[in-house]
Amino acid sequence: AAFAAFSGRTIVVGKDVSGTVTAEIKDQPWDVALNAVLRTQGLAAREDGNGIIMVDSYKNLATTRAVEP
């Protein structure tokens, strides 16, 4: 939610993603910081054609990508 508020972007989180992450980020672009936080949690982000950022496990994002037309 903090990244969405700061970036002004829509971020949708997969149904299997839960928990709390605490991070102190200084002097980094929001997208670099988001990707660093996601990697430490074993997650990834993908932006769709409408500019919506989807956050989920690598496996779930790969599966979604494989079944999309």
Report which secondary-structure segment, H or E, holds 54. strand 53-57
Please check the confidence at residue 64 and state whether its pLDDT lies above 80.
no
Per-residue pLDDT at 11: 95
* 6-61 pLDDT, tens digit each: 899 999 999 989 888 888 989 999 999 999 999 999 999 999 889 899 999 988 88
Please check the confidence at residue 65 and state whether its pLDDT lies above 70.
no
Distance CA 10, CA 43 (A): 17
Q: Which two tokens stand for residue 29?
A: 């672009």
Q: Which residues of 39-64 are buried (b: 16+ CB within 10 A; e: fewer)?
A: eeeebbbeeeeeeebbbbbeebbeee
Segment 58-65 long-range contacts (CB within 8 Å, at least 24 positions apart): 60/14, 60/16
What pTM value is reported for the model? 0.78
